A and B are shown apart, each in its own frame.
Chain A
């Protein structure tokens, strides 16, 4: 089958590559671009370990074709830190012990990153509902909720500081 040339911006870098139409975005990111933060935890679109941000929305990249990303902006966990400074969600997962094995963490972080842009001050219930597409075997979720809250506070404080 003929490959298709796509242009996609990943973590701010413009990438042009020919892809087979059946290539899943998760495989394109991991195998073609060597961005191996996003993981694969299932083949039924449930676990969310593959979550990335496409054009401002959280998407399970195992259920999206790379060829569909032509012209899109994709953010993966590797794109969250800014010049080596952790993003608030990364710092908060670290501080609140929101990870153990770390396998779900890239998907959790990228989902939390978007959740906190859609809702700057989510309640515990909204965090649990908002993170419901991401499974974790290790943490029991409690510390993930704390981490997302922690990140929300950090982001709000930062915003107030800029406004002042």
Chain B
């Protein structure tokens, strides 16, 4: 319950935060919503000597559409994602997923940027952002760079984010008309991380699947992009057989950790089941 001592900094601009990061190096941690970091500090799994609070940096939060792209500040809370009329209309998958994350209080504080950069395979945004083909804008001492969500997650708690960098924005293209999506998450109770979850984004022309993106949560060391599952659907009519083939392909790439949520076989089977449900649900929403 009691974190170790640390020095607290509350910069009001990104450049101030970057210079603090540069100054304190490895001893510093960025504080966003604090709902992964503080719990770890309270258990002394993390003992940073400096906390750099990003909450006073106005330029890091908010949702806007610019040049055909939806730009979401890293410090935007889950509640703000859910309440966003723009996202409800243009990227409903993000709204559906955010409402399945944690609980109301946690969603008021937890941020999309923190959920992504934490690198926990249990978190939901990694798979969602890969399904949405999101781009992450990272800012460091030498300026900005862009990394695709699909290239960002490297291992459990490991991402492509460099120690001197801050995730600034998440860029996502709005759904084309008639895109259907779904996030199906199996969990033991509200506020629990997924036993298994699947995100699906589909486009249909008539009965035939014209494009598909399928990703999986918490059934591997990182969020998984089930490309073979996508290939099992694309260019074919959507049938029980094609859905079963996609689910089998998704299960084939699962590598879950055994824990209190279940063993490897159970989690893998549930990833298949969530994939089937998400495909069916997404298909009904392709209108």
Contact = CB atoms under 8 A, between A and B. Distances in A.
Given A43-B1, A57-B79, A68-B53, A21 B6 contact: yes
A79 interface: no
A51 B105 contact: yes
Query: 9 tightest CB-CB pairs across the interface, nearest first?
Result: A133-B103, A21-B8, A132-B190, A133-B105, A43-B1, A57-B108, A1-B5, A22-B3, A60-B105
Interface in B7-35: 7-8, 10, 34-35
Given A60-B106, A132-B104, A133-B103, A22 B4 contact: yes
A64 interface: yes
Nearest to A57: B108
B51 interface: yes
B228 interface: no
B270 to A, nearest CB: 22
Nearest to A22: B3
Contacts of A21: 5-8, 51
Of the four ranges (under 10, 10 to 19, 20 to 34, 35 or more), the interface on chain A belongs to 20 to 34
Contact of B39 (A44, A48, A111, A115): A44
B44 to A, nearest CB: 11
A62 B39 CA distance: 9
A99 interface: no
A132 B191 contact: yes
Interface in A101-116: 111, 115
Contacts of A59: 105, 108-109
A42 to B, nearest CB: 9
A63 B4 contact: no
B38 interface: yes
A67 B56 CA distance: 12
Interface of A: 1-2, 4, 20-22, 24, 40, 43-46, 48, 51, 57-60, 62-65, 67-68, 70, 111, 115, 129-130, 132-133
A20 B5 contact: yes
A21 B42 CA distance: 13
Candidate in B1, B4, B10, B102 with the most chain A CB atoms within 10 angstroms: B1
Contacts of B10: 68, 70
A133 B106 contact: yes
A45 B39 contact: yes
Contacts of B4: 22
A108 to B, nearest CB: 12
B231 interface: no
Contacts of B42: 24, 43, 62
Nearest to B55: A68
Interface in B105-139: 105-106, 108-109
B252 interface: no
Given A57-B79, A58-B108, A132-B104, A63 B6 contact: no
A112 B5 CA distance: 34
A147 to B, nearest CB: 17
Nearest to A131: B104
B43 interface: yes
Contacts of A48: 103, 105
B186 to A, nearest CB: 17
Nearest to A107: B105
B105 A58 contact: yes
Nearest to B189: A132
Nearest to B79: A57
Given A22-B3, A46-B191, A132-B190, A65 B34 contact: yes
Nearest to A46: B191
A43 B5 CA distance: 18
A22 B105 contact: no
Contact of B103 (A57, A67, A132): A132
B111 to A, nearest CB: 13
